[in-house]
Amino acid sequence: MALLLVDDGGGNGCVVLTRRPASMKRHAGQYALPGGRLDGRETAIEAALRETREEVGLSRTKADVLGVLDDYPTRSGFHITPVVVWGGRGATLVANPAEVATIYRIPLADLLHPDVVQLDPVDDGPPILSLALLNNRIFAPTAAMLLQLREVALLGKDTPVDGFGQPRFAWR
């Protein structure tokens, strides 16, 4: 999974978020970061770079990788490795219509808004994490990776996020 950092054309840092097409079989219409399964013997970094190229049309190399955040275990049995990638200034992003309906550049400053983090309590587990972005709610696991990016890169905190819950629609 790639946490792709770019600018907004005005020099402000952003993270790339996509929305999946409504026609997809899995996670249709959901907000997501560029990413997917490993192909063959590929590493998490190689997969993040490949998926970035395939989904948003931006080719990056291992030299553009800024770091890796904590693995995030999903309720559906996957372990996601978030790879932070520098996309460069003035990066041109082109959505692959088979995988991406819309590309968003979320200002990093938006991640710092005091009301962005939302936790919904549940009776039988950890609270469900979401982030208030794009006049919507972005749920874990995507929200968890964005939250950890905020905590580590913007606030300098070592904040684990694997203990937050995910909504039932993300369990598939």
Confidence of residue 27 (pLDDT cuts 50, 70, 90): low
Confidence at residue 22, expressed as pLDDT on a 0 to 100 scale: 77
Q: Is there a cis peptide before residue 141, judged by omega within 30 degrees of 0?
A: yes
Whole-number Å distance between alpha carbons of 55 and 53: 6
Please give the average per-residue pLDDT across 102-131, as a whole number: 94
Assigned token pair, 4? 């792709």
The topology under which CATH files domain 2-170 is Nucleoside Triphosphate Pyrophosphohydrolase (3.90.79)
pLDDT over 90, % of the chain: 75
Secondary structure, 3-state, 85-126: EEEECCCCCCCCCCCCCEEEEEEHHHHHCCCCEEEEEECCEE
Please give the average per-residue pLDDT across 45-58, as a whole number: 97
